[in-house]
Amino acid sequence: MKFTEEHEWLDTTEDEGVVTVGITEHAAEALGELVFLELPEVGTKVVKGDEVAVIESVKAASEILAPLDGEIVEVNEPLVDNVTLVNDDPTGKGWFFRIKLDNPSDMDDLLDEDAYKALIE
């Protein structure tokens, strides 16, 4: 698993070059109770830093940014009707989308777990 400084996690899937993306437990706790989520459309081409999703809590709204360049190949549809899955299981059932990376080696530039823990301390 890799992490971004924007508190997103990425995990490789069985499909070569495809990663699952969600927000970290730290981010979910900071946002508080989630009330709304807008996911990207499958087939959307994204560039690192593009806004790809919006999540709202009782405290604030936050943009979810594309962690790397690629194409959205799947979204977690159950989240739209049950956004609390993100609060309950942010690194499991609360994933947001899967992206087929243009350049899978870009994952090497992201934070590992130790570096992410150091960032949030």
The set of residues, in sequence order, having a beta carbon less than 8 Å from that of 84 and lying 6+ positions away, is 33, 34
pLDDT band at 15 (very low <50, low <70, confident <90, very high): confident
- Number of domains within the chain: 1
pLDDT band at 60 (very low <50, low <70, confident <90, very high): confident
End-to-end CA gap in the chain: 19
| 70-116 pLDDT, tens digit each | 999 999 999 989 999 999 999 999 999 999 999 999 999 999 999 99
Identify the CATH number of the domain in which residue 115 sits: 2.40.50.100
Q: Kindly provide the b/e burial profile for residues 66-84, where b requires at least 16 CB atoms within 10 angstroms of the residue's own CB.
A: bbbbbebbbbbeebeeebe
pLDDT band at 50 (very low <50, low <70, confident <90, very high): very high
Residues in the chain: 121
What per-residue confidence (pLDDT) applies to 59?
A: 86
What per-residue confidence (pLDDT) applies to 11?
A: 94
Q: 83 lies in which domain range?
A: 2-103+110-120
pTM above 0.95, yes or no: no
